[in-house]
Structure 1
Amino acid sequence: MKNARLKAIYNETFSGLRLYYRDTNLSKNLILNYKVGQIIQEKGFTDMTSMGGGLSGNLRYLIASAHPKDLSKFNPDSAKTGHFLLDTIAYFKVLDIQKIGGKTQVFLLNIPDNSISLFKNSSSNLEEEIIEKARKKFSDKINSSLIPELQTEGWKERTKSPIGMNENGEMYFDDAKIKTETPKRIEINAARKTIEVDKKPWWKIWQILFF
């Protein structure tokens, strides 16, 4: 793959990257379907929140994405829940799975649909950086207070379903069909700008400089 295309893909994936949360309760068998490095597809809309508090279920999806829709711009009630939405047929790479006690965090990176093979067969220093930050965020928040606005029946109904599979554990996308190649690690030099998320510093990558 030529450098120009790699730059375009990494810019699309990481430029403006932010973290979002989606808590639910899943059985152990469903949680075990997730594997680090796996590519999954969500057929439906992905509802998530920008508000990070304590876990309101036994599973937290921490979703890193640069392209969700901010529904508060269209519905004032959505501002109360920090409601963001990803369109149907969204692809994710499972970057990390972390467990503390009876709680699990599955860290998902939202990736472009034209980059599935690339992300399946490679890793990067950027992924390693955000994994480290995600792990710290999980340990910091696991004992935090719940956010009342996210405990309503309406919000829990929106976020109860697993991502990437149906309620019987059948995956929507067969990760095994992706052509495997020799794994490679990509070093990326990126310019960063600090932004605020949950009143704590986070960062976004605004330009991939070179590989």
Structure 2
Amino acid sequence: MKNSRLKSIYNETFSGLKLFYRDTDLPDNLISNYRIGQIIQEKGFTDMSSLNGGLSGNCRYIIASAHAKDLSIFNPDSVKIGHFLLDTISYFKVLDIQIIEDKTQVFLLNIPDNSLILFKNSSSNLEEEITEKAREKFINKKNSPLIPELQTKDWKERTKTPIGMDSNGEMFFDDSKIKIESSKRIEINMTKKTIEVNKKPWWKIW
């Protein structure tokens, strides 16, 4: 893959990246369907909040995305819950799964639909950096007070379903169909929202 193509994909993925949160209660057999490095697809809209409080369920999704839509533009009441939305047919890479006592955090990176092979077969320093931040947020917020605005019946209904699978645990996307290549690690320099990809002989981007 050419260096210019890599830069384009990583700019689309990481430029303007923000963290969002979505809590729910899931049985262990559904949570166990997630694997670090897995690529998943969500068929429906993904409701999530920019507000980071205590966990209101046994499972927290923390979602890193540069493409979430701020619904407060259309509905002023959405400001109270920090309501953001991802479109249908969104793809994610599972960057981390963290378990502390009876709580689980699943960290998802929203990725372009034309980059599945790249993200399946590579990792980057940026992925590592944001994973560390997500872990810190989980530890710091695990026992924090709940945000009352996120405890309403309407919000819990919007966020009760698992991401990437149906209520029976059937995954919407089989990432085993993605072409497997030798694993690669990519070093990315990001300054002023511009990404530079370090050239490595094993990646053949010269």
- TM range, normalised to the smaller chain? over 0.9
Aligned partners of 1:103 and 1:119: how far apart in 2? 27
Any residues of structure 2 matched to 1:41-60 within 5 Å, and which? 41-60=41-60
2:81 — aligned with what? 81
- Stretches of 4+ moved more than 3 A in 1? none
User: Is 1:5 matched with 2:8?
Assistant: no
The aligned amino acid for 1:151 is Q
Deviations 1:53-111 (A, max 9, x none): 00000000000000010000100111111000000000000000000110000000000
Question: What amino acid does structure 1 have at the position aligned with 2:68?
Answer: P
Letter in 2 for 1:66: A
Q: What is the alpha-carbon distance in structure 1 between the residues aligned to residue 40 and residue 151 of structure 2?
A: 27
Unmatched 5+ residue regions in structure 2?
199-206
2:123 aligned residue: 123
| Whole-angstrom distance in 1 between the partners of 2:165 and 2:10 | 26
1:23 aligned partner: 23
Is this contact kept in 1: 2:186–2:197, CA < 8 A? no
Q: Any idea what the Cα deviations from partners look like across 1:138-158, whole Å, max 9, x if unmatched? A: 000001000000000000000
User: Which residue of 1 is the match for residue 63 of structure 2?
Assistant: 63
The answer as to whether partners of 2:6 and 2:197 remain within 8 angstroms in 1 is no
Decide whether the 8 Å contact of 2:98 with 2:135 is kept in 1. Answer: yes
1:168-191 CA distance string (max 9 Å, x none): 000000011001000000011111
TM-score (norm 1): 0.93
Residue matched to 1:162: 162
Q: Is 1:209 equivalent to 2:200 in the alignment?
A: no
2: distance between equivalents of 1:69 and 1:133?
22
Q: Distance in 2 between matches of 1:190 and 1:72?
A: 29
Q: Give the corresponding residue for 1:180.
A: 180
**Residue type matched to 2:146 in 1?**
L
User: Which SS does the other structure have where 1:57 is aligned?
Assistant: coil
SS in 2 for 1:171: coil
Give the letter aligned to residue 26 of structure 1: L
| Partner Cα separation in structure 1 for residue 60 and residue 144 of structure 2 | 13
Q: Which amino acid aligns with 1:30?
A: L
> Percent identical across equivalent pairs?
75
Deviations 1:111-138, CA, capped at 9 Å, x for gaps: 0000000000000000000011110010
Letter in 2 for 1:146: L
Q: How far 1:209 sits from its partner (Å)? A: 2.5
**1:115 partner letter:** S
Q: Which AA in structure 1 matches 2:114?
A: N
For the residue of structure 1 that corresponds to 2:179, the secondary structure is: coil
Q: Distance in 1 between matches of 2:196 and 2:60?
A: 33
Shift of 1:13: 0.1
Q: Amino acid of the residue matched to residue 39 of structure 2?
A: I
- Alpha carbons 2:45, 2:85 under 8 Å: kept: yes
